[in-house]
Structure 1
Amino acid sequence: MAKFLLTSTYTVEGLDGLRQDGGTKRAEVIRALIENSGGRMEAMYFGFGQYDTYVVCDLPDHTTAAALAVAIRAARGLDTRISPLLTAEEVDEALRIHVAYQPPGA
């Protein structure tokens, strides 16, 4: 499984739904969505700043992550972005791969 960070900002409609449902119910809905997609929610937090919610989860693959992002955004309650997360070991592995790159103008 791969680890992902879902960041979301509520739309006006989404905020109305949050006020009706409350935070606990919304967290349960997100946990069920992730688990029904074959994943596992590690943590969910609400925040005040650039994003309203932060979800750290494990998902089977990038295709599943994309499917979740599309489904959530299409419902129009949240503007959601999904970012893959890498462990330190995965970064070390990536750094061992030689990549030839020529920057513009070089």
Structure 2
Amino acid sequence: MPHYMLQWRFSADNFRSLVQNPDSRAETVSKAIESFEGRLHQYFFAFGDYDGVIICEFPDQERCVAFLAMVAAKGGFTSFQTTPLLTPEEGLHAFERAGRTQTPYRPALS
């Protein structure tokens, strides 16, 4: 199944709620992902541009987008970033394919 790194920023209201009622959110997020036939691998809070990161997988892009749309529609976040991921094996196959493929492409160097 395709893997994804999902990053988000909490809204001020969501932070306020988490401070008043601390919750790791991992179990809630895992169940939500599973309702779209996905699987949560890792859940992290983060410093920097995003407040959290998860590594998960979904059977296809459509279910990943459906999960994100459902989460966004509920509120609590100011932004998301989604990064499709490749396993090391998938990356290896991609590099092997790149080496086998004959193409007339060349960079537009001077």
Q: TM-score range by the shorter chain?
A: 0.7 to 0.9
Structure 1 ranges of 4+ moved more than 6 A: none
Query: Residue type matched to 1:76 in 2?
Result: G
**TM-score normalised over the length of structure 1:** 0.82
**TM-score normalised over the length of structure 2:** 0.79
Match of 1:29 in 2: 28
Q: CA deviation at 1:17?
A: 2.7
Larger Rg: 2
Q: 5+ unaligned residues in a row in structure 2: which ranges? A: none
Query: Residue type matched to 1:33 in 2?
Result: A
Match of 2:3 in 1: 3
Look up the SS of the partner of 1:44 in the other structure. Answer: strand
Q: How many residues align?
A: 105
Look up the SS of the partner of 1:54 in the other structure. Answer: strand
Q: CA deviation at 1:20?
A: 3.6
Percentage of matched positions with identical amino acids: 30
Pairing 1:19-58 to 2, within 5 Å after superposition: 19-24=19-24, 26-58=25-57
Task: State yes or no: 1:69 paired with 2:68.
Answer: yes
Q: 5+ unaligned residues in a row in structure 1: which ranges? A: none
C-alpha spacing 1:21/1:64, structure 2 compared with 1 (3 Å) = farther
